[in-house]
A and B are shown apart, each in its own frame.
Chain A
Amino acid sequence: MMQETTIDRPIMPLRPTSFPRERPSRTADDLAGRPPKISVDHLNFYYGPKQALSDVTLMIPQHCVTALIGPSGCGKSTFLRCLNRMNDMIDNTRVEGEIILDGRSILGPKVDVVALRKRVGMVFQKSNPFPKSVFENVAYGPRVAGVRGKSVLYEIVEKSLVRAALWDEVKDRLNDSALQLSGGQQQRLCIARALATNPDVLLMDEPASALDPASTSRIEDLIFELRDRYTIVIVTHNMQQAARVSDQTAFFYQGELIEAGSTNELFTNPARKQTEDYITGRFG
Protein backbone atom coordinates (compact mmCIF):
# COMPACT_ATOMS: atom_id res chain seq x y z
CA MET A 1 0.00 0.00 0.00
CA MET A 2 2.81 2.36 0.80
CA GLN A 3 3.92 3.45 -2.61
CA GLU A 4 4.43 6.97 -1.33
CA THR A 5 7.98 6.25 -0.26
CA THR A 6 9.46 8.77 -2.63
CA ILE A 7 7.30 11.64 -1.52
CA ASP A 8 9.14 14.42 0.27
CA ARG A 9 7.53 16.95 2.45
CA PRO A 10 5.68 19.14 2.00
CA ILE A 11 3.03 16.85 0.64
CA MET A 12 0.30 19.38 0.12
CA PRO A 13 1.68 20.68 -3.18
CA LEU A 14 1.12 17.18 -4.54
CA ARG A 15 -2.61 17.76 -4.49
CA PRO A 16 -3.67 17.14 -8.03
CA THR A 17 -4.66 20.35 -9.70
CA SER A 18 -6.77 18.71 -12.39
CA PHE A 19 -9.88 18.42 -10.22
CA PRO A 20 -12.92 20.23 -11.49
CA ARG A 21 -13.22 22.08 -8.23
CA GLU A 22 -10.83 23.41 -5.68
CA ARG A 23 -11.29 21.51 -2.48
CA PRO A 24 -9.93 23.61 0.29
CA SER A 25 -9.54 21.94 3.66
CA ARG A 26 -11.07 23.61 6.63
CA THR A 27 -8.52 25.50 8.66
CA ALA A 28 -7.46 24.67 12.17
CA ASP A 29 -9.34 27.68 13.50
CA ASP A 30 -12.47 26.67 11.66
CA LEU A 31 -12.22 23.14 13.10
CA ALA A 32 -11.74 24.45 16.61
CA GLY A 33 -14.76 26.69 16.28
CA ARG A 34 -17.12 23.90 15.26
CA PRO A 35 -19.30 21.96 17.65
CA PRO A 36 -18.14 18.39 18.12
CA LYS A 37 -20.40 15.92 16.34
CA ILE A 38 -18.77 13.01 18.07
CA SER A 39 -16.40 13.17 20.96
CA VAL A 40 -14.48 10.12 22.01
CA ASP A 41 -13.10 10.12 25.50
CA HIS A 42 -10.45 7.75 26.85
CA LEU A 43 -11.69 4.88 24.74
CA ASN A 44 -10.24 1.42 25.35
CA PHE A 45 -11.31 -1.53 23.29
CA TYR A 46 -10.53 -5.21 23.78
CA TYR A 47 -10.98 -8.30 21.62
CA GLY A 48 -10.99 -10.85 24.43
CA PRO A 49 -7.71 -10.31 26.25
CA LYS A 50 -6.18 -8.38 23.36
CA GLN A 51 -6.37 -4.61 23.63
CA ALA A 52 -6.97 -3.07 20.22
CA LEU A 53 -7.46 0.58 21.23
CA SER A 54 -5.75 2.29 24.13
CA ASP A 55 -6.94 5.51 25.63
CA VAL A 56 -8.13 7.17 22.44
CA THR A 57 -9.44 10.70 22.88
CA LEU A 58 -10.61 12.42 19.71
CA MET A 59 -13.00 15.17 18.79
CA ILE A 60 -14.82 14.81 15.48
CA PRO A 61 -16.16 18.22 14.46
CA GLN A 62 -19.46 18.60 12.69
CA HIS A 63 -19.57 18.88 8.90
CA CYS A 64 -15.94 17.99 8.53
CA VAL A 65 -14.07 15.11 7.01
CA THR A 66 -11.85 13.28 9.46
CA ALA A 67 -9.28 10.92 7.99
CA LEU A 68 -7.91 8.02 10.02
CA ILE A 69 -4.48 6.90 8.92
CA GLY A 70 -1.98 4.44 10.27
CA PRO A 71 -0.31 1.15 9.40
CA SER A 72 -2.29 -2.05 8.90
CA GLY A 73 -3.63 -3.52 12.12
CA CYS A 74 -3.33 -0.32 14.14
CA GLY A 75 -7.04 -0.27 15.00
CA LYS A 76 -8.58 2.13 12.46
CA SER A 77 -11.42 -0.21 11.54
CA THR A 78 -11.94 -1.10 15.18
CA PHE A 79 -12.25 2.57 16.04
CA LEU A 80 -14.69 3.13 13.20
CA ARG A 81 -16.83 0.20 14.30
CA CYS A 82 -17.01 1.64 17.81
CA LEU A 83 -18.75 4.70 16.41
CA ASN A 84 -21.79 2.76 15.19
CA ARG A 85 -21.51 -0.09 17.68
CA MET A 86 -20.84 -2.68 14.99
CA ASN A 87 -18.34 -4.22 17.38
CA ASP A 88 -21.35 -5.44 19.37
CA MET A 89 -21.69 -8.18 16.80
CA ILE A 90 -18.30 -9.63 17.63
CA ASP A 91 -18.39 -12.01 20.59
CA ASN A 92 -16.23 -11.45 23.59
CA THR A 93 -15.38 -7.79 23.13
CA ARG A 94 -15.24 -5.07 25.76
CA VAL A 95 -15.27 -1.32 25.54
CA GLU A 96 -14.34 1.28 28.15
CA GLY A 97 -14.50 5.03 28.05
CA GLU A 98 -17.10 7.26 26.50
CA ILE A 99 -18.38 8.16 23.06
CA ILE A 100 -20.75 11.10 22.81
CA LEU A 101 -22.82 11.74 19.68
CA ASP A 102 -24.70 15.04 19.65
CA GLY A 103 -24.35 15.33 23.39
CA ARG A 104 -25.65 11.83 24.15
CA SER A 105 -23.66 8.76 25.07
CA ILE A 106 -23.86 5.94 22.54
CA LEU A 107 -22.23 3.31 24.72
CA GLY A 108 -24.02 1.32 27.35
CA PRO A 109 -26.81 -1.23 27.14
CA LYS A 110 -29.68 1.28 27.11
CA VAL A 111 -28.78 2.80 23.76
CA ASP A 112 -31.04 1.91 20.83
CA VAL A 113 -28.37 0.66 18.45
CA VAL A 114 -30.83 0.36 15.57
CA ALA A 115 -31.64 4.06 15.80
CA LEU A 116 -27.94 4.83 16.22
CA ARG A 117 -27.03 2.97 13.04
CA LYS A 118 -29.68 4.81 11.08
CA ARG A 119 -27.88 8.01 11.98
CA VAL A 120 -24.36 6.66 11.61
CA GLY A 121 -24.00 4.94 8.25
CA MET A 122 -21.07 2.76 7.30
CA VAL A 123 -19.23 1.64 4.19
CA PHE A 124 -17.18 -1.46 4.90
CA GLN A 125 -13.59 -2.17 4.02
CA LYS A 126 -14.63 -5.18 1.93
CA SER A 127 -17.60 -4.45 -0.28
CA ASN A 128 -20.55 -6.56 0.79
CA PRO A 129 -23.56 -6.09 -1.48
CA PHE A 130 -26.63 -8.17 -0.73
CA PRO A 131 -27.23 -11.04 -3.18
CA LYS A 132 -30.16 -9.10 -4.58
CA SER A 133 -30.77 -6.67 -7.41
CA VAL A 134 -28.97 -3.34 -7.59
CA PHE A 135 -32.24 -1.59 -6.86
CA GLU A 136 -33.03 -3.74 -3.83
CA ASN A 137 -29.57 -3.16 -2.42
CA VAL A 138 -29.99 0.59 -2.36
CA ALA A 139 -33.66 0.51 -1.40
CA TYR A 140 -33.05 -1.79 1.55
CA GLY A 141 -32.08 0.89 4.09
CA PRO A 142 -35.10 3.12 3.41
CA ARG A 143 -37.33 0.04 3.30
CA VAL A 144 -36.35 -1.21 6.74
CA ALA A 145 -36.82 2.34 8.00
CA GLY A 146 -40.42 2.13 6.82
CA VAL A 147 -40.31 4.00 3.49
CA ARG A 148 -42.97 2.58 1.15
CA GLY A 149 -44.01 3.34 -2.37
CA LYS A 150 -42.12 2.39 -5.50
CA SER A 151 -41.80 5.92 -6.82
CA VAL A 152 -40.42 7.33 -3.56
CA LEU A 153 -37.95 4.48 -3.34
CA TYR A 154 -37.00 4.86 -6.98
CA GLU A 155 -36.23 8.51 -6.41
CA ILE A 156 -34.03 7.71 -3.40
CA VAL A 157 -32.26 4.95 -5.32
CA GLU A 158 -31.56 7.18 -8.30
CA LYS A 159 -30.32 10.04 -6.17
CA SER A 160 -28.05 7.80 -4.12
CA LEU A 161 -26.61 6.08 -7.18
CA VAL A 162 -25.97 9.38 -8.90
CA ARG A 163 -24.14 10.66 -5.86
CA ALA A 164 -22.04 7.54 -5.61
CA ALA A 165 -21.04 8.03 -9.26
CA LEU A 166 -22.61 4.75 -10.28
CA TRP A 167 -25.91 5.75 -11.87
CA ASP A 168 -24.71 5.94 -15.47
CA GLU A 169 -23.22 2.48 -15.29
CA VAL A 170 -26.19 0.73 -13.74
CA LYS A 171 -29.27 2.69 -14.75
CA ASP A 172 -30.16 0.05 -17.34
CA ARG A 173 -29.51 -2.88 -15.06
CA LEU A 174 -31.19 -1.94 -11.80
CA ASN A 175 -32.81 -5.37 -11.71
CA ASP A 176 -29.62 -7.33 -12.30
CA SER A 177 -27.93 -9.02 -9.38
CA ALA A 178 -25.53 -6.72 -7.57
CA LEU A 179 -23.05 -9.60 -7.49
CA GLN A 180 -22.61 -9.27 -11.25
CA LEU A 181 -21.12 -5.80 -10.87
CA SER A 182 -17.37 -5.34 -10.95
CA GLY A 183 -15.48 -4.97 -7.67
CA GLY A 184 -15.27 -1.19 -7.96
CA GLN A 185 -18.93 -0.91 -8.93
CA GLN A 186 -19.87 -3.04 -5.93
CA GLN A 187 -17.89 -0.69 -3.70
CA ARG A 188 -19.72 2.34 -5.07
CA LEU A 189 -23.00 0.45 -4.69
CA CYS A 190 -22.21 0.03 -1.00
CA ILE A 191 -21.58 3.76 -0.77
CA ALA A 192 -24.89 4.47 -2.50
CA ARG A 193 -26.60 2.05 -0.13
CA ALA A 194 -25.21 3.88 2.89
CA LEU A 195 -26.24 7.27 1.45
CA ALA A 196 -29.79 6.06 0.83
CA THR A 197 -30.57 5.98 4.54
CA ASN A 198 -29.56 9.63 4.77
CA PRO A 199 -27.41 9.39 7.90
CA ASP A 200 -25.84 12.30 9.82
CA VAL A 201 -22.50 10.64 10.07
CA LEU A 202 -20.88 8.53 7.38
CA LEU A 203 -18.13 6.11 8.30
CA MET A 204 -16.08 4.94 5.33
CA ASP A 205 -13.51 2.21 5.67
CA GLU A 206 -11.18 2.55 2.69
CA PRO A 207 -14.01 3.31 0.29
CA ALA A 208 -11.65 3.77 -2.64
CA SER A 209 -9.39 0.77 -2.17
CA ALA A 210 -10.91 -1.11 -5.11
CA LEU A 211 -11.53 1.83 -7.39
CA ASP A 212 -9.79 3.11 -10.50
CA PRO A 213 -8.46 6.68 -10.48
CA ALA A 214 -11.52 8.12 -12.20
CA SER A 215 -14.02 6.62 -9.76
CA THR A 216 -11.72 7.48 -6.89
CA SER A 217 -11.73 11.11 -7.81
CA ARG A 218 -15.51 11.02 -8.17
CA ILE A 219 -15.79 9.54 -4.69
CA GLU A 220 -13.48 12.23 -3.40
CA ASP A 221 -15.66 14.87 -5.06
CA LEU A 222 -18.64 13.23 -3.44
CA ILE A 223 -17.02 13.35 -0.01
CA PHE A 224 -16.28 17.00 -0.51
CA GLU A 225 -19.87 17.67 -1.54
CA LEU A 226 -21.31 15.72 1.37
CA ARG A 227 -19.15 17.57 3.85
CA ASP A 228 -21.56 20.44 4.22
CA ARG A 229 -24.38 18.20 5.35
CA TYR A 230 -22.75 15.14 6.83
CA THR A 231 -19.94 14.43 9.20
CA ILE A 232 -17.57 12.01 7.56
CA VAL A 233 -14.93 9.73 8.99
CA ILE A 234 -12.80 7.99 6.42
CA VAL A 235 -10.07 5.39 6.78
CA THR A 236 -7.47 5.47 4.08
CA HIS A 237 -4.06 4.03 3.37
CA ASN A 238 -3.46 6.62 0.72
CA MET A 239 -1.70 9.67 2.19
CA GLN A 240 -2.48 11.81 -0.81
CA GLN A 241 -6.13 10.92 -0.52
CA ALA A 242 -6.14 11.82 3.16
CA ALA A 243 -4.50 15.12 2.27
CA ARG A 244 -6.93 15.74 -0.59
CA VAL A 245 -10.23 15.03 1.08
CA SER A 246 -9.93 15.56 4.80
CA ASP A 247 -10.10 18.53 7.14
CA GLN A 248 -8.79 16.71 10.14
CA THR A 249 -6.41 13.77 10.24
CA ALA A 250 -5.83 11.31 13.05
CA PHE A 251 -2.79 9.07 13.05
CA PHE A 252 -3.12 5.73 14.84
CA TYR A 253 -0.28 3.45 15.72
CA GLN A 254 -0.61 0.14 17.56
CA GLY A 255 -3.99 1.02 19.00
CA GLU A 256 -2.99 4.45 20.19
CA LEU A 257 -3.92 7.79 18.76
CA ILE A 258 -0.50 9.33 18.23
CA GLU A 259 -1.55 12.64 16.80
CA ALA A 260 -4.63 14.38 15.52
CA GLY A 261 -5.05 17.82 14.07
CA SER A 262 -6.05 19.80 11.07
CA THR A 263 -4.92 18.08 7.90
CA ASN A 264 -2.89 21.06 6.74
CA GLU A 265 -1.06 21.13 10.05
CA LEU A 266 -0.50 17.42 10.34
CA PHE A 267 0.84 16.92 6.85
CA THR A 268 3.03 20.01 6.71
CA ASN A 269 4.15 20.20 10.26
CA PRO A 270 3.59 17.00 12.25
CA ALA A 271 4.25 17.32 15.94
CA ARG A 272 5.45 13.78 16.46
CA LYS A 273 8.36 11.98 14.88
CA GLN A 274 6.29 8.80 14.32
CA THR A 275 3.71 10.75 12.37
CA GLU A 276 6.34 12.35 10.21
CA ASP A 277 7.97 8.99 9.52
CA TYR A 278 4.64 7.47 8.60
CA ILE A 279 3.36 10.17 6.27
CA THR A 280 6.66 10.38 4.49
CA GLY A 281 6.63 6.62 4.06
CA ARG A 282 9.67 5.87 6.16
CA PHE A 283 7.81 3.16 8.01
CA GLY A 284 4.41 1.52 8.03
Chain B
Amino acid sequence: MSQTAFETTAYSRRRARMSQAFSVLCLAATSLGVLVLILLIWEILWQGLPWLNARLLTSFPSMYPEKAGIAAALVSSLWLITLTALFSVPIGVGAAVYLEEYAQASRWRSLVQLNIANLAGVPSIVYGILGLGLFVRALALQRSILAGSLTLTLVVLPIVILAAQESLRAVPNSIRQASFALGATRWQTVWHQVLPAATPGIMTGVILAISRAMGEAAPLVAMGAAATFITFIPLSPIDEFSALPVQIYDWASRPQPEYHHVAAAAIVVLLTVLILLNATAVYVRYRYGKRIRW
Protein backbone atom coordinates (compact mmCIF):
# COMPACT_ATOMS: atom_id res chain seq x y z
CA MET B 1 0.00 0.00 0.00
CA SER B 2 1.30 3.42 -0.84
CA GLN B 3 1.68 5.93 1.96
CA THR B 4 1.66 9.07 -0.14
CA ALA B 5 -1.90 9.92 0.80
CA PHE B 6 -0.85 10.69 4.36
CA GLU B 7 2.32 12.65 3.75
CA THR B 8 2.17 16.39 4.30
CA THR B 9 2.47 18.59 1.26
CA ALA B 10 3.13 22.28 0.91
CA TYR B 11 -0.58 22.75 0.41
CA SER B 12 -1.67 20.81 3.48
CA ARG B 13 0.96 22.60 5.59
CA ARG B 14 -0.33 25.94 4.40
CA ARG B 15 -3.88 24.95 5.27
CA ALA B 16 -2.79 23.85 8.72
CA ARG B 17 -1.06 27.21 9.25
CA MET B 18 -4.17 29.10 8.10
CA SER B 19 -6.31 27.10 10.44
CA GLN B 20 -3.98 27.84 13.31
CA ALA B 21 -3.83 31.54 12.50
CA PHE B 22 -7.60 31.71 12.48
CA SER B 23 -7.92 30.02 15.85
CA VAL B 24 -5.36 32.48 17.30
CA LEU B 25 -7.43 35.34 15.92
CA CYS B 26 -10.60 34.00 17.50
CA LEU B 27 -8.81 33.51 20.80
CA ALA B 28 -7.60 37.11 20.66
CA ALA B 29 -11.12 38.38 20.07
CA THR B 30 -12.49 36.35 22.95
CA SER B 31 -9.71 37.42 25.31
CA LEU B 32 -10.23 41.07 24.42
CA GLY B 33 -13.90 40.82 25.44
CA VAL B 34 -13.11 38.99 28.64
CA LEU B 35 -10.26 41.38 29.46
CA VAL B 36 -12.47 44.47 29.16
CA LEU B 37 -15.09 42.79 31.32
CA ILE B 38 -12.53 41.90 33.99
CA LEU B 39 -11.18 45.46 33.98
CA LEU B 40 -14.67 46.86 34.38
CA ILE B 41 -15.56 44.55 37.23
CA TRP B 42 -12.18 45.15 38.85
CA GLU B 43 -12.70 48.91 38.72
CA ILE B 44 -16.21 48.63 40.20
CA LEU B 45 -15.15 46.28 42.96
CA TRP B 46 -12.12 48.38 43.80
CA GLN B 47 -14.27 51.50 44.09
CA GLY B 48 -17.36 49.95 45.59
CA LEU B 49 -16.36 47.10 47.90
CA PRO B 50 -15.07 49.32 50.73
CA TRP B 51 -18.45 51.05 50.74
CA LEU B 52 -20.50 47.89 50.56
CA ASN B 53 -21.92 47.24 54.02
CA ALA B 54 -25.16 46.74 55.90
CA ARG B 55 -25.69 50.48 56.17
CA LEU B 56 -25.77 50.80 52.38
CA LEU B 57 -28.54 48.22 52.20
CA THR B 58 -30.64 49.69 55.00
CA SER B 59 -30.37 53.46 54.53
CA PHE B 60 -32.13 55.93 52.31
CA PRO B 61 -30.63 58.54 49.98
CA SER B 62 -28.90 61.28 51.93
CA MET B 63 -27.03 64.54 51.47
CA TYR B 64 -24.06 62.88 53.08
CA PRO B 65 -22.50 60.14 50.99
CA GLU B 66 -21.40 58.17 54.03
CA LYS B 67 -25.02 57.97 55.19
CA ALA B 68 -26.58 57.27 51.78
CA GLY B 69 -28.09 53.86 51.07
CA ILE B 70 -30.17 51.93 48.59
CA ALA B 71 -32.93 50.49 50.76
CA ALA B 72 -35.71 52.26 48.84
CA ALA B 73 -34.11 51.68 45.44
CA LEU B 74 -33.49 47.98 46.03
CA VAL B 75 -36.99 47.28 47.31
CA SER B 76 -38.46 49.35 44.46
CA SER B 77 -36.46 47.39 41.92
CA LEU B 78 -37.66 44.09 43.38
CA TRP B 79 -41.25 45.38 43.23
CA LEU B 80 -40.71 46.47 39.63
CA ILE B 81 -39.31 43.19 38.37
CA THR B 82 -41.90 41.13 40.22
CA LEU B 83 -44.81 43.08 38.76
CA THR B 84 -43.17 43.27 35.35
CA ALA B 85 -42.83 39.48 35.36
CA LEU B 86 -46.45 39.09 36.48
CA PHE B 87 -47.66 41.28 33.62
CA SER B 88 -45.31 40.27 30.84
CA VAL B 89 -45.30 36.47 31.25
CA PRO B 90 -49.01 35.77 30.72
CA ILE B 91 -49.37 38.37 27.99
CA GLY B 92 -46.11 37.47 26.27
CA VAL B 93 -46.55 33.71 26.41
CA GLY B 94 -50.21 34.06 25.42
CA ALA B 95 -49.28 36.14 22.40
CA ALA B 96 -46.55 33.69 21.43
CA VAL B 97 -48.90 30.71 21.75
CA TYR B 98 -51.46 32.47 19.61
CA LEU B 99 -48.95 33.36 16.93
CA GLU B 100 -47.23 29.98 16.85
CA GLU B 101 -50.02 27.51 17.55
CA TYR B 102 -53.26 29.14 16.46
CA ALA B 103 -52.78 31.90 13.88
CA GLN B 104 -52.91 30.72 10.30
CA ALA B 105 -50.12 31.92 8.06
CA SER B 106 -51.47 35.16 6.65
CA ARG B 107 -50.41 38.64 5.70
CA TRP B 108 -51.89 39.92 8.94
CA ARG B 109 -49.80 37.46 10.94
CA SER B 110 -46.59 38.44 9.18
CA LEU B 111 -47.39 42.09 9.80
CA VAL B 112 -47.84 41.48 13.54
CA GLN B 113 -44.68 39.41 13.58
CA LEU B 114 -42.68 42.11 11.85
CA ASN B 115 -43.96 44.70 14.30
CA ILE B 116 -43.02 42.65 17.32
CA ALA B 117 -39.52 42.20 15.98
CA ASN B 118 -39.28 45.95 15.39
CA LEU B 119 -40.66 46.82 18.81
CA ALA B 120 -37.90 44.73 20.38
CA GLY B 121 -35.44 47.13 18.81
CA VAL B 122 -37.12 50.38 19.88
CA PRO B 123 -34.94 52.35 22.35
CA SER B 124 -36.35 51.93 25.82
CA ILE B 125 -36.57 55.67 26.48
CA VAL B 126 -39.33 55.81 23.88
CA TYR B 127 -41.35 53.45 26.04
CA GLY B 128 -40.65 55.75 28.98
CA ILE B 129 -42.27 58.63 27.17
CA LEU B 130 -45.19 56.43 26.16
CA GLY B 131 -45.52 55.30 29.78
CA LEU B 132 -45.51 58.90 30.94
CA GLY B 133 -48.34 59.78 28.58
CA LEU B 134 -50.35 56.61 28.95
CA PHE B 135 -49.94 55.25 32.46
CA VAL B 136 -48.85 58.27 34.48
CA ARG B 137 -51.17 60.83 32.92
CA ALA B 138 -54.00 59.25 30.88
CA LEU B 139 -54.65 56.38 33.28
CA ALA B 140 -53.77 58.63 36.21
CA LEU B 141 -51.55 56.06 37.88
CA GLN B 142 -49.16 58.86 38.89
CA ARG B 143 -45.51 58.04 39.31
CA SER B 144 -46.32 54.76 41.00
CA ILE B 145 -44.63 51.39 41.00
CA LEU B 146 -47.60 50.19 38.99
CA ALA B 147 -46.99 52.77 36.26
CA GLY B 148 -43.27 51.94 36.32
CA SER B 149 -43.77 48.21 35.96
CA LEU B 150 -46.36 48.65 33.23
CA THR B 151 -43.82 50.75 31.35
CA LEU B 152 -41.14 48.12 31.87
CA THR B 153 -43.65 45.52 30.70
CA LEU B 154 -43.86 47.40 27.41
CA VAL B 155 -40.07 47.36 27.19
CA VAL B 156 -39.69 43.61 27.74
CA LEU B 157 -42.89 42.32 26.15
CA PRO B 158 -41.47 42.02 22.62
CA ILE B 159 -38.44 40.20 24.02
CA VAL B 160 -40.62 37.79 25.99
CA ILE B 161 -42.84 37.14 22.98
CA LEU B 162 -39.90 36.48 20.68
CA ALA B 163 -38.16 34.19 23.19
CA ALA B 164 -41.37 32.25 23.83
CA GLN B 165 -42.03 31.92 20.10
CA GLU B 166 -38.51 30.64 19.61
CA SER B 167 -39.00 27.98 22.29
CA LEU B 168 -42.39 26.95 20.92
CA ARG B 169 -40.91 26.61 17.47
CA ALA B 170 -38.18 24.37 18.88
CA VAL B 171 -40.77 21.81 19.99
CA PRO B 172 -40.75 19.20 17.21
CA ASN B 173 -43.90 18.97 15.15
CA SER B 174 -43.97 15.23 15.68
CA ILE B 175 -45.03 15.89 19.28
CA ARG B 176 -48.03 17.91 18.15
CA GLN B 177 -48.89 15.25 15.59
CA ALA B 178 -48.68 12.48 18.16
CA SER B 179 -50.99 14.41 20.44
CA PHE B 180 -53.53 15.23 17.74
CA ALA B 181 -53.50 11.65 16.50
CA LEU B 182 -54.52 10.51 19.99
CA GLY B 183 -57.62 12.65 19.78
CA ALA B 184 -56.37 15.64 21.75
CA THR B 185 -57.79 19.06 20.96
CA ARG B 186 -55.53 21.92 20.04
CA TRP B 187 -55.88 23.36 23.51
CA GLN B 188 -54.98 20.03 25.14
CA THR B 189 -52.02 19.65 22.83
CA VAL B 190 -50.72 23.12 23.66
CA TRP B 191 -51.36 22.84 27.38
CA HIS B 192 -50.21 19.28 28.04
CA GLN B 193 -47.44 18.82 25.48
CA VAL B 194 -46.18 21.94 23.75
CA LEU B 195 -46.00 24.37 26.66
CA PRO B 196 -44.31 21.94 29.09
CA ALA B 197 -41.75 21.07 26.43
CA ALA B 198 -41.14 24.75 25.74
CA THR B 199 -41.05 25.82 29.39
CA PRO B 200 -37.27 25.77 29.96
CA GLY B 201 -36.73 27.95 26.90
CA ILE B 202 -39.56 30.30 27.86
CA MET B 203 -38.27 30.58 31.42
CA THR B 204 -34.77 31.40 30.24
CA GLY B 205 -36.13 34.06 27.93
CA VAL B 206 -38.30 35.51 30.68
CA ILE B 207 -35.47 35.64 33.17
CA LEU B 208 -33.19 37.37 30.69
CA ALA B 209 -35.96 39.85 29.87
CA ILE B 210 -36.48 40.51 33.57
CA SER B 211 -32.75 41.10 34.01
CA ARG B 212 -32.99 43.63 31.27
CA ALA B 213 -35.94 45.32 33.03
CA MET B 214 -33.95 45.42 36.24
CA GLY B 215 -31.10 47.25 34.57
CA GLU B 216 -33.21 49.82 32.73
CA ALA B 217 -32.89 53.40 33.93
CA ALA B 218 -33.88 55.42 30.87
CA PRO B 219 -37.63 54.67 30.65
CA LEU B 220 -38.03 55.15 34.40
CA VAL B 221 -36.18 58.47 34.33
CA ALA B 222 -38.27 59.57 31.37
CA MET B 223 -41.50 58.80 33.17
CA GLY B 224 -40.21 60.58 36.23
CA ALA B 225 -39.08 57.95 38.73
CA ALA B 226 -37.52 59.63 41.72
CA ALA B 227 -34.04 58.89 42.95
CA THR B 228 -33.27 61.32 45.73
CA PHE B 229 -36.32 61.88 47.85
CA ILE B 230 -37.77 58.41 48.34
CA THR B 231 -37.02 58.02 52.02
CA PHE B 232 -39.42 55.21 52.76
CA ILE B 233 -39.76 51.59 51.75
CA PRO B 234 -42.46 51.35 49.08
CA LEU B 235 -45.03 48.94 50.47
CA SER B 236 -47.69 48.87 47.79
CA PRO B 237 -47.84 49.11 43.99
CA ILE B 238 -49.30 52.58 44.13
CA ASP B 239 -46.42 54.02 46.16
CA GLU B 240 -43.84 56.22 44.56
CA PHE B 241 -40.61 54.52 43.85
CA SER B 242 -36.99 54.70 42.94
CA ALA B 243 -34.94 52.03 41.18
CA LEU B 244 -31.39 50.81 41.50
CA PRO B 245 -30.19 51.96 38.07
CA VAL B 246 -31.89 55.35 38.53
CA GLN B 247 -30.27 55.73 41.94
CA ILE B 248 -26.88 54.76 40.53
CA TYR B 249 -27.28 57.20 37.67
CA ASP B 250 -28.12 59.97 40.14
CA TRP B 251 -25.11 59.33 42.36
CA ALA B 252 -22.70 58.80 39.53
CA SER B 253 -23.60 62.15 38.01
CA ARG B 254 -22.78 64.08 41.19
CA PRO B 255 -19.49 65.95 41.48
CA GLN B 256 -18.41 64.58 44.89
CA PRO B 257 -16.11 61.57 44.41
CA GLU B 258 -17.54 59.90 47.54
CA TYR B 259 -20.85 59.50 45.74
CA HIS B 260 -19.04 57.65 42.98
CA HIS B 261 -18.01 55.10 45.56
CA VAL B 262 -21.58 54.73 46.80
CA ALA B 263 -22.67 54.33 43.17
CA ALA B 264 -20.03 51.63 42.64
CA ALA B 265 -21.21 49.80 45.75
CA ALA B 266 -24.80 49.96 44.47
CA ILE B 267 -23.62 48.61 41.11
CA VAL B 268 -22.08 45.66 42.94
CA VAL B 269 -25.48 44.96 44.50
CA LEU B 270 -27.24 45.32 41.15
CA LEU B 271 -24.71 43.04 39.48
CA THR B 272 -25.13 40.47 42.22
CA VAL B 273 -28.90 40.38 41.73
CA LEU B 274 -28.45 40.13 37.94
CA ILE B 275 -25.92 37.33 38.27
CA LEU B 276 -28.32 35.47 40.55
CA LEU B 277 -31.09 35.86 37.98
CA ASN B 278 -28.84 34.64 35.20
CA ALA B 279 -27.64 31.73 37.28
CA THR B 280 -31.29 30.77 37.75
CA ALA B 281 -31.73 30.86 33.97
CA VAL B 282 -28.73 28.60 33.47
CA TYR B 283 -29.93 26.26 36.20
CA VAL B 284 -33.44 26.04 34.74
CA ARG B 285 -32.05 25.27 31.33
CA TYR B 286 -29.69 22.64 32.72
CA ARG B 287 -32.29 21.06 34.94
CA TYR B 288 -35.06 20.75 32.36
CA GLY B 289 -32.77 20.41 29.37
CA LYS B 290 -31.48 17.17 30.82
CA ARG B 291 -34.97 15.74 31.01
CA ILE B 292 -36.10 16.86 27.59
CA ARG B 293 -33.81 15.81 24.80
CA TRP B 294 -35.17 15.09 21.39
| Secondary structure of the B contact surface, majority rule | helix
Question: With A131-B294, A144-B192, A177-B291 given, is the CB distance from A190 to B184 under 8 Å?
Answer: no
How far, in angstroms, from A143 to B182 measured CA to CA in the complex?
10
* Complex Cα spacing A143 to B197, Å: 18
Q: Is B181 an interface residue (CB 8 A)?
A: yes
How distant is A61 from chain B, measured CB to nearest CB, in Å?
Answer: 23
Q: Mark B278-294, 1 if CB is under 8 A from A, else 0.
A: 00000000000001111
For residue A124, CB closer than 8 A to chain B, the reply is yes
Within 156-196 of B, Cβ neighbours of A (below 8 Å) are at: 172-185, 188, 192-193, 196
Q: Does A63 contact B (CB under 8 A)?
A: no
How many pairs of A and B residues are in contact by the CB < 8 Å rule? 71
Tell me the A93-129 residues at the B interface (CB within 8 Å): 114-115, 117-118, 121-122, 124, 126, 128-129
How many residues of B are counted as interface, with CB atoms below 8 angstroms from the partner's CB atoms? Answer: 24
Docked complex: A185-218 residues within 8 A CB-CB of B: 190, 193-194, 197
Q: Given the complex, which residues of A lie within 8 Å of B188, measured CB to CB?
A: 144
List of B residues within 8 angstroms of A141 by Cβ: 182-184
In-complex Cβ contact of B183 among A91, A114, A126, A179 (8 A): A114
B183 and A145 contact, CB distance less than 8 A: yes
The CA-CA distance from A197 to B184 in the complex, in Å, is 11
Contact with B along A11-38 (1 / 0, CB 8 A): 0000000000000000000000000000
Interface string of A36-61 (1 = CB under 8 A from B): 00000000000000000000000000
Q: Across the interface, name the chain B residue whose C-beta is closest to A113.
A: B180
Given contacts A131-B197, A140-B192, contact A121 B181 (CB under 8 A): yes
Contact A121 B182 (CB under 8 A): yes
Which residues on the B side are within 8 Å of A129 (C-beta)? 178
A131: chain B residues at CB < 8 Å are 175, 197, 291-294
Contacts of B293 in A (CB 8 A): 131, 179
Complex-state Cα separation, A128 to B174, whole angstroms = 6
Measured between alpha carbons, how far is A153 from B182 in the docked complex, in Å? 15
Contact present for B178 and A124 (CB under 8 Å): yes
Residues of chain A with a CB closer than 8 A to B181's CB: 84, 86, 117, 121-122, 124, 194
User: Quick check: is B105 within 8 A (CB to CB) of the other chain?
Assistant: yes
State whether A86 touches B182 (Cβ < 8 A): no
- For the A-B complex with A130-B193, A144-B179 known, give 8 more contacts whose Cβ atoms are closer than 8 Å: A128-B174, A128-B175, A128-B178, A140-B184, A143-B192, A144-B192, A194-B181, A197-B183
A selection of 11 A-B contacts at a CB cut-off of 8 Å is A86-B177, A86-B181, A89-B177, A114-B185, A121-B182, A130-B175, A132-B196, A140-B192, A141-B184, A144-B183, A179-B294
Q: Which residues of B contact A (CB under 8 A)?
A: 105, 172-185, 188, 192-193, 196-197, 291-294
Interface residues of A (CB under 8 A from B): 84, 86, 89, 91, 114-115, 117-118, 121-122, 124, 126, 128-132, 140-141, 143-145, 177, 179, 190, 193-194, 197
In order of increasing CB-CB distance, the 6 nearest A-B pairs are: A118-B183, A128-B174, A141-B182, A122-B181, A144-B184, A131-B292
